[in-house]
Structure 1
Amino acid sequence: MHDIDGASVYETYRFGRLNAAPTYFVTADTSALTARRLASLGAAGVIYKPVTFDKLRGAVSGQFGEDAAARVEAASQRPAPCLRPIPVEYLDPSAIETLREVRDTPEFLGKMIAEGTADIERIDQALSIALLACDVTAVHRQAHALRGVSLSLGAVRVAALADRLMKIGQRELEDTIDDRVADLRKSVDLSLAALQALADSIRTQGTAHAG
Protein backbone atom coordinates (compact mmCIF):
# COMPACT_ATOMS: atom_id res chain seq x y z
CA MET A 1 0.00 0.00 0.00
CA HIS A 2 1.52 3.26 -1.09
CA ASP A 3 -0.49 5.97 0.67
CA ILE A 4 -1.89 4.12 3.70
CA ASP A 5 -0.44 1.50 6.01
CA GLY A 6 -2.01 -1.43 7.82
CA ALA A 7 -2.28 0.48 11.09
CA SER A 8 -4.37 3.18 9.41
CA VAL A 9 -6.58 0.54 7.77
CA TYR A 10 -7.17 -1.07 11.16
CA GLU A 11 -7.99 2.23 12.83
CA THR A 12 -10.50 2.98 10.06
CA TYR A 13 -12.06 -0.47 10.52
CA ARG A 14 -12.35 -0.04 14.30
CA PHE A 15 -13.91 3.42 14.07
CA GLY A 16 -17.52 3.31 15.28
CA ARG A 17 -17.55 -0.45 15.93
CA LEU A 18 -18.51 -1.78 19.36
CA ASN A 19 -17.59 -5.40 18.63
CA ALA A 20 -14.75 -5.53 16.13
CA ALA A 21 -13.65 -8.95 14.95
CA PRO A 22 -10.27 -10.20 16.21
CA THR A 23 -7.71 -8.74 13.82
CA TYR A 24 -4.07 -9.61 13.24
CA PHE A 25 -1.50 -7.49 11.49
CA VAL A 26 0.56 -9.33 8.86
CA THR A 27 3.92 -7.70 8.29
CA ALA A 28 7.52 -8.34 7.32
CA ASP A 29 8.74 -5.59 9.67
CA THR A 30 10.07 -7.29 12.81
CA SER A 31 11.47 -4.16 14.45
CA ALA A 32 10.64 -3.47 18.11
CA LEU A 33 9.34 0.00 17.22
CA THR A 34 6.76 -1.42 14.83
CA ALA A 35 5.78 -4.14 17.31
CA ARG A 36 5.12 -1.52 20.01
CA ARG A 37 3.15 0.65 17.62
CA LEU A 38 0.91 -2.20 16.47
CA ALA A 39 0.41 -3.47 20.02
CA SER A 40 -0.75 -0.02 21.11
CA LEU A 41 -3.59 -0.11 18.56
CA GLY A 42 -5.33 -2.99 20.32
CA ALA A 43 -5.36 -5.62 17.58
CA ALA A 44 -5.34 -9.30 18.51
CA GLY A 45 -1.71 -9.68 17.52
CA VAL A 46 0.90 -9.67 14.78
CA ILE A 47 1.77 -12.46 12.32
CA TYR A 48 5.19 -12.02 10.79
CA LYS A 49 5.92 -13.04 7.23
CA PRO A 50 6.34 -15.61 5.85
CA VAL A 51 2.85 -16.66 6.90
CA THR A 52 2.62 -20.39 7.62
CA PHE A 53 -0.17 -22.66 8.79
CA ASP A 54 1.60 -23.05 12.14
CA LYS A 55 1.37 -19.31 12.70
CA LEU A 56 -2.27 -19.25 11.60
CA ARG A 57 -3.10 -22.17 13.89
CA GLY A 58 -1.47 -20.33 16.78
CA ALA A 59 -3.53 -17.23 16.08
CA VAL A 60 -6.78 -19.18 15.81
CA SER A 61 -5.99 -21.15 18.97
CA GLY A 62 -5.32 -17.94 20.88
CA GLN A 63 -8.70 -16.51 19.92
CA PHE A 64 -11.02 -19.51 19.67
CA GLY A 65 -9.35 -22.41 21.50
CA GLU A 66 -7.61 -25.62 20.54
CA ASP A 67 -10.67 -27.18 18.88
CA ALA A 68 -10.81 -24.43 16.27
CA ALA A 69 -7.06 -24.71 15.71
CA ALA A 70 -7.42 -28.45 15.23
CA ARG A 71 -10.05 -27.88 12.53
CA VAL A 72 -7.68 -25.49 10.75
CA GLU A 73 -4.91 -28.09 10.98
CA ALA A 74 -7.15 -30.82 9.59
CA ALA A 75 -8.19 -28.64 6.67
CA SER A 76 -4.54 -27.93 5.84
CA GLN A 77 -3.40 -31.56 5.70
CA ARG A 78 -1.90 -32.62 2.38
CA PRO A 79 -0.37 -35.87 1.14
CA ALA A 80 3.35 -36.39 1.50
CA PRO A 81 5.34 -34.06 -0.79
CA CYS A 82 6.00 -35.28 -4.32
CA LEU A 83 7.64 -32.00 -5.33
CA ARG A 84 11.34 -31.66 -4.68
CA PRO A 85 12.43 -28.09 -5.36
CA ILE A 86 15.87 -27.87 -6.90
CA PRO A 87 18.50 -26.85 -4.34
CA VAL A 88 19.44 -23.27 -5.17
CA GLU A 89 21.66 -21.12 -2.98
CA TYR A 90 19.38 -18.09 -3.22
CA LEU A 91 16.14 -19.90 -2.33
CA ASP A 92 14.71 -21.59 0.74
CA PRO A 93 12.64 -24.57 -0.55
CA SER A 94 10.51 -24.64 2.62
CA ALA A 95 8.61 -21.58 1.34
CA ILE A 96 7.34 -23.62 -1.60
CA GLU A 97 6.23 -26.35 0.79
CA THR A 98 4.22 -23.69 2.64
CA LEU A 99 2.53 -22.76 -0.63
CA ARG A 100 1.80 -26.44 -1.21
CA GLU A 101 -0.27 -26.42 1.99
CA VAL A 102 -2.61 -24.00 0.26
CA ARG A 103 -2.89 -25.90 -3.04
CA ASP A 104 -0.61 -28.65 -4.24
CA THR A 105 -0.78 -28.32 -8.02
CA PRO A 106 1.90 -27.29 -10.55
CA GLU A 107 -0.51 -24.69 -11.97
CA PHE A 108 -1.02 -22.98 -8.62
CA LEU A 109 2.66 -23.06 -7.66
CA GLY A 110 3.66 -21.75 -11.09
CA LYS A 111 1.11 -18.95 -10.83
CA MET A 112 2.33 -17.92 -7.36
CA ILE A 113 5.96 -17.90 -8.49
CA ALA A 114 5.11 -15.87 -11.61
CA GLU A 115 3.09 -13.31 -9.66
CA GLY A 116 5.73 -13.07 -6.94
CA THR A 117 8.48 -12.65 -9.51
CA ALA A 118 6.55 -9.82 -11.15
CA ASP A 119 6.13 -8.16 -7.74
CA ILE A 120 9.86 -8.44 -7.02
CA GLU A 121 10.69 -6.88 -10.39
CA ARG A 122 8.24 -4.02 -9.82
CA ILE A 123 9.43 -3.29 -6.28
CA ASP A 124 13.07 -3.64 -7.32
CA GLN A 125 12.58 -0.91 -9.90
CA ALA A 126 11.00 1.45 -7.35
CA LEU A 127 13.64 0.63 -4.74
CA SER A 128 16.46 1.26 -7.21
CA ILE A 129 15.05 4.70 -7.98
CA ALA A 130 14.75 5.47 -4.26
CA LEU A 131 18.34 4.33 -3.64
CA LEU A 132 19.77 6.46 -6.43
CA ALA A 133 17.83 9.46 -5.09
CA CYS A 134 19.06 8.70 -1.55
CA ASP A 135 15.42 8.98 -0.43
CA VAL A 136 15.68 7.03 2.82
CA THR A 137 11.93 7.14 3.54
CA ALA A 138 11.11 5.62 0.16
CA VAL A 139 13.94 3.09 0.59
CA HIS A 140 12.45 1.94 3.90
CA ARG A 141 8.97 1.63 2.38
CA GLN A 142 10.04 -0.27 -0.73
CA ALA A 143 12.44 -2.49 1.23
CA HIS A 144 9.58 -3.48 3.53
CA ALA A 145 7.47 -4.48 0.54
CA LEU A 146 10.39 -6.35 -1.04
CA ARG A 147 11.11 -8.29 2.14
CA GLY A 148 7.51 -9.45 2.40
CA VAL A 149 7.15 -10.79 -1.12
CA SER A 150 10.65 -12.31 -1.06
CA LEU A 151 9.93 -14.26 2.11
CA SER A 152 6.69 -15.61 0.64
CA LEU A 153 8.74 -17.16 -2.20
CA GLY A 154 11.74 -18.19 -0.14
CA ALA A 155 14.05 -15.63 -1.79
CA VAL A 156 16.11 -15.40 1.38
CA ARG A 157 19.05 -13.43 0.01
CA VAL A 158 16.81 -10.64 -1.26
CA ALA A 159 14.82 -10.70 1.97
CA ALA A 160 17.99 -10.33 4.06
CA LEU A 161 19.19 -7.43 1.93
CA ALA A 162 15.77 -5.77 2.16
CA ASP A 163 15.81 -6.20 5.93
CA ARG A 164 19.07 -4.27 6.14
CA LEU A 165 17.71 -1.51 3.92
CA MET A 166 14.62 -1.20 6.12
CA LYS A 167 16.90 -0.08 8.97
CA ILE A 168 19.47 2.00 7.10
CA GLY A 169 19.99 5.63 8.09
CA GLN A 170 20.37 8.62 5.80
CA ARG A 171 24.11 9.08 6.37
CA GLU A 172 24.90 5.39 5.93
CA LEU A 173 22.79 5.28 2.76
CA GLU A 174 24.66 8.23 1.26
CA ASP A 175 28.07 6.80 2.20
CA THR A 176 27.41 3.31 0.81
CA ILE A 177 25.02 4.00 -2.07
CA ASP A 178 27.16 2.32 -4.76
CA ASP A 179 27.55 -0.88 -2.72
CA ARG A 180 23.83 -0.96 -1.90
CA VAL A 181 22.81 -0.63 -5.54
CA ALA A 182 25.30 -3.31 -6.62
CA ASP A 183 24.16 -5.70 -3.87
CA LEU A 184 20.53 -5.21 -4.82
CA ARG A 185 21.22 -5.82 -8.49
CA LYS A 186 23.18 -9.02 -7.87
CA SER A 187 20.78 -10.47 -5.30
CA VAL A 188 17.64 -9.73 -7.30
CA ASP A 189 19.04 -10.95 -10.63
CA LEU A 190 20.34 -14.23 -9.24
CA SER A 191 17.22 -14.82 -7.15
CA LEU A 192 14.95 -14.24 -10.14
CA ALA A 193 17.05 -16.69 -12.16
CA ALA A 194 16.71 -19.25 -9.35
CA LEU A 195 12.94 -18.73 -9.20
CA GLN A 196 12.69 -19.20 -12.96
CA ALA A 197 14.65 -22.44 -12.70
CA LEU A 198 12.33 -23.59 -9.93
CA ALA A 199 9.24 -22.71 -11.99
CA ASP A 200 10.67 -24.66 -14.93
CA SER A 201 11.29 -27.65 -12.66
CA ILE A 202 7.73 -27.55 -11.32
CA ARG A 203 6.32 -27.28 -14.82
CA THR A 204 8.43 -30.25 -15.98
CA GLN A 205 7.30 -32.38 -13.04
CA GLY A 206 3.68 -31.44 -13.70
CA THR A 207 4.00 -32.47 -17.33
CA ALA A 208 5.62 -35.76 -16.35
CA HIS A 209 2.85 -36.55 -13.87
CA ALA A 210 0.16 -35.67 -16.42
CA GLY A 211 1.75 -38.04 -18.91
Structure 2
Amino acid sequence: MKIEVNADKRTLQGKGASRRLRGSGKVPGIIYGGDSEPQSIELDHNDMFYKLKMEAFHASILTLKVEGSKEQVLLRDVQMHPYKQLVLHVDFQRVDQKKKIHMKVPLHFINEEIAPGVKTAGGIVSHVLTEVDVSCLPKDLPEFITVDLIDLEAGHTLHLSDLVLPENVEISALIKGDDQAVAAIVIPRAVLSGEAAAETEEEPTEE
Protein backbone atom coordinates (compact mmCIF):
# COMPACT_ATOMS: atom_id res chain seq x y z
CA MET A 1 0.00 0.00 0.00
CA LYS A 2 1.38 3.39 -1.02
CA ILE A 3 0.58 6.12 1.48
CA GLU A 4 1.29 9.80 0.87
CA VAL A 5 1.45 12.49 3.52
CA ASN A 6 1.33 16.20 2.75
CA ALA A 7 3.22 18.69 4.89
CA ASP A 8 4.51 22.25 4.91
CA LYS A 9 7.77 23.61 6.28
CA ARG A 10 7.48 25.07 9.76
CA THR A 11 9.56 28.12 10.63
CA LEU A 12 8.22 29.19 14.03
CA GLN A 13 9.54 27.17 16.98
CA GLY A 14 8.73 26.89 20.66
CA LYS A 15 5.79 25.77 22.82
CA GLY A 16 3.76 28.89 22.08
CA ALA A 17 4.12 28.45 18.33
CA SER A 18 3.20 24.75 18.58
CA ARG A 19 0.16 25.59 20.68
CA ARG A 20 -1.06 28.15 18.13
CA LEU A 21 -0.38 25.64 15.36
CA ARG A 22 -2.57 23.01 17.05
CA GLY A 23 -5.25 25.63 17.61
CA SER A 24 -5.41 26.19 13.85
CA GLY A 25 -5.94 22.47 13.12
CA LYS A 26 -2.30 21.64 12.41
CA VAL A 27 0.18 19.18 13.93
CA PRO A 28 3.85 20.05 14.44
CA GLY A 29 6.35 17.44 13.33
CA ILE A 30 9.93 16.84 12.26
CA ILE A 31 11.84 14.89 9.59
CA TYR A 32 15.32 13.70 10.48
CA GLY A 33 18.00 11.28 9.34
CA GLY A 34 19.83 10.74 6.07
CA ASP A 35 22.24 13.28 4.66
CA SER A 36 19.94 16.27 5.14
CA GLU A 37 19.43 18.48 8.16
CA PRO A 38 16.36 17.93 10.37
CA GLN A 39 13.34 19.81 9.00
CA SER A 40 10.47 21.08 11.12
CA ILE A 41 7.12 20.56 9.43
CA GLU A 42 3.39 21.05 10.01
CA LEU A 43 0.61 18.68 8.91
CA ASP A 44 -3.18 18.71 8.79
CA HIS A 45 -4.45 17.32 12.10
CA ASN A 46 -7.58 15.56 10.83
CA ASP A 47 -5.72 13.89 8.00
CA MET A 48 -2.97 12.72 10.38
CA PHE A 49 -5.48 11.51 12.99
CA TYR A 50 -7.24 9.42 10.34
CA LYS A 51 -4.01 7.98 8.93
CA LEU A 52 -2.78 6.99 12.41
CA LYS A 53 -5.77 4.63 12.66
CA MET A 54 -4.46 2.71 9.64
CA GLU A 55 -2.33 -0.28 10.60
CA ALA A 56 -0.23 0.05 7.43
CA PHE A 57 0.65 3.66 8.29
CA HIS A 58 2.77 2.41 11.20
CA ALA A 59 4.61 -0.30 9.25
CA SER A 60 5.13 1.06 5.74
CA ILE A 61 7.50 3.25 3.80
CA LEU A 62 5.61 6.54 3.49
CA THR A 63 5.93 9.22 0.83
CA LEU A 64 6.16 12.59 2.54
CA LYS A 65 5.48 15.59 0.28
CA VAL A 66 6.88 18.83 1.66
CA GLU A 67 6.00 21.79 -0.56
CA GLY A 68 6.43 19.77 -3.78
CA SER A 69 9.48 17.78 -2.69
CA LYS A 70 9.00 14.06 -2.00
CA GLU A 71 10.91 11.96 0.53
CA GLN A 72 10.65 8.34 1.61
CA VAL A 73 10.17 8.18 5.37
CA LEU A 74 9.13 5.97 8.28
CA LEU A 75 6.85 7.04 11.11
CA ARG A 76 9.07 6.85 14.18
CA ASP A 77 7.16 8.51 17.02
CA VAL A 78 3.73 9.92 17.80
CA GLN A 79 2.79 11.99 20.83
CA MET A 80 -0.91 11.93 21.73
CA HIS A 81 -2.84 14.01 24.27
CA PRO A 82 -3.35 12.03 27.52
CA TYR A 83 -7.14 12.00 27.21
CA LYS A 84 -8.23 14.09 24.21
CA GLN A 85 -8.32 12.73 20.66
CA LEU A 86 -5.51 15.07 19.75
CA VAL A 87 -2.20 14.41 17.98
CA LEU A 88 0.48 16.58 19.59
CA HIS A 89 3.59 15.79 17.54
CA VAL A 90 4.91 13.33 14.94
CA ASP A 91 8.46 12.27 14.02
CA PHE A 92 9.47 10.90 10.63
CA GLN A 93 12.82 9.34 9.72
CA ARG A 94 14.26 9.55 6.21
CA VAL A 95 14.89 6.22 4.51
CA ASP A 96 18.11 5.21 2.79
CA GLN A 97 17.16 2.54 0.24
CA LYS A 98 20.61 0.95 0.55
CA LYS A 99 20.58 0.56 4.35
CA LYS A 100 18.65 -1.98 6.38
CA ILE A 101 15.95 -0.68 8.67
CA HIS A 102 14.42 -2.00 11.88
CA MET A 103 10.65 -1.79 12.02
CA LYS A 104 7.83 -3.29 14.07
CA VAL A 105 5.48 -5.22 11.78
CA PRO A 106 2.02 -6.48 12.84
CA LEU A 107 1.17 -10.17 12.91
CA HIS A 108 -2.00 -11.37 11.15
CA PHE A 109 -3.29 -14.67 12.53
CA ILE A 110 -5.22 -17.03 10.22
CA ASN A 111 -7.01 -20.39 10.57
CA GLU A 112 -7.58 -19.96 14.31
CA GLU A 113 -11.10 -21.45 14.19
CA ILE A 114 -9.98 -24.64 12.41
CA ALA A 115 -6.78 -25.24 14.37
CA PRO A 116 -6.99 -28.75 15.92
CA GLY A 117 -6.50 -27.35 19.42
CA VAL A 118 -9.54 -25.12 18.96
CA LYS A 119 -11.86 -27.19 16.76
CA THR A 120 -11.44 -30.60 18.39
CA ALA A 121 -10.10 -29.82 21.88
CA GLY A 122 -12.13 -26.71 22.73
CA GLY A 123 -9.03 -24.62 23.30
CA ILE A 124 -8.55 -20.87 23.05
CA VAL A 125 -5.77 -19.16 21.10
CA SER A 126 -3.50 -17.06 23.29
CA HIS A 127 -1.72 -14.34 21.29
CA VAL A 128 1.63 -13.87 23.02
CA LEU A 129 2.90 -11.39 20.39
CA THR A 130 0.91 -9.09 18.09
CA GLU A 131 3.93 -7.57 16.30
CA VAL A 132 7.60 -8.34 15.69
CA ASP A 133 10.66 -6.21 15.02
CA VAL A 134 12.12 -7.06 11.62
CA SER A 135 15.32 -6.11 9.81
CA CYS A 136 15.40 -5.66 6.03
CA LEU A 137 16.03 -3.22 3.21
CA PRO A 138 13.22 -0.66 2.76
CA LYS A 139 12.08 -2.27 -0.51
CA ASP A 140 11.51 -5.61 1.28
CA LEU A 141 9.52 -4.26 4.24
CA PRO A 142 6.25 -6.24 4.59
CA GLU A 143 3.04 -4.54 5.77
CA PHE A 144 2.39 -7.56 8.00
CA ILE A 145 3.49 -11.15 8.60
CA THR A 146 0.94 -13.98 8.37
CA VAL A 147 0.84 -16.50 11.21
CA ASP A 148 -0.90 -19.73 10.14
CA LEU A 149 -2.29 -21.71 13.09
CA ILE A 150 -3.84 -24.52 11.01
CA ASP A 151 -1.66 -27.26 12.58
CA LEU A 152 -1.48 -25.97 16.16
CA GLU A 153 -2.58 -28.51 18.77
CA ALA A 154 -3.87 -27.85 22.29
CA GLY A 155 -1.03 -27.27 24.74
CA HIS A 156 1.42 -26.50 21.92
CA THR A 157 3.17 -23.20 21.23
CA LEU A 158 4.20 -21.52 17.98
CA HIS A 159 7.57 -19.74 18.09
CA LEU A 160 9.26 -17.07 15.98
CA SER A 161 11.32 -19.74 14.24
CA ASP A 162 8.07 -21.34 13.00
CA LEU A 163 6.98 -18.25 11.06
CA VAL A 164 7.21 -18.13 7.27
CA LEU A 165 8.94 -14.85 6.46
CA PRO A 166 8.98 -12.88 3.21
CA GLU A 167 12.22 -13.05 1.24
CA ASN A 168 15.15 -11.03 2.63
CA VAL A 169 13.33 -10.28 5.90
CA GLU A 170 14.83 -11.27 9.26
CA ILE A 171 13.35 -11.16 12.75
CA SER A 172 15.60 -9.15 15.06
CA ALA A 173 14.99 -11.38 18.10
CA LEU A 174 16.01 -14.52 16.18
CA ILE A 175 19.21 -12.84 15.05
CA LYS A 176 20.02 -12.49 18.77
CA GLY A 177 19.06 -16.12 19.43
CA ASP A 178 15.80 -15.29 21.21
CA ASP A 179 13.14 -17.66 19.84
CA GLN A 180 10.12 -16.08 21.51
CA ALA A 181 6.67 -17.65 21.74
CA VAL A 182 4.15 -16.15 19.29
CA ALA A 183 0.91 -18.00 20.07
CA ALA A 184 -0.35 -20.98 22.02
CA ILE A 185 -3.61 -22.89 22.42
CA VAL A 186 -4.73 -23.29 26.01
CA ILE A 187 -7.63 -25.32 27.39
CA PRO A 188 -10.02 -23.29 29.60
CA ARG A 189 -10.56 -24.58 33.13
CA ALA A 190 -14.27 -25.02 32.46
CA VAL A 191 -13.51 -27.46 29.64
CA LEU A 192 -11.01 -29.39 31.76
CA SER A 193 -13.47 -29.53 34.68
CA GLY A 194 -16.21 -30.77 32.34
CA GLU A 195 -13.97 -33.52 30.99
CA ALA A 196 -12.98 -34.59 34.49
CA ALA A 197 -16.63 -34.72 35.55
CA ALA A 198 -17.54 -36.77 32.47
CA GLU A 199 -14.77 -39.26 33.21
CA THR A 200 -15.97 -39.63 36.79
CA GLU A 201 -19.52 -40.37 35.64
CA GLU A 202 -18.25 -42.99 33.20
CA GLU A 203 -16.34 -44.92 35.90
CA PRO A 204 -18.23 -48.05 36.96
CA THR A 205 -19.48 -48.12 40.54
CA GLU A 206 -18.46 -51.00 42.79
CA GLU A 207 -21.26 -53.08 44.29
Which category of TM-score, normalised to the shorter sequence, fits these structures? under 0.3
Question: Structure 2-normalised TM-score?
Answer: 0.26
Higher helix share: 1
Higher strand share: 2
Larger Rg: 2
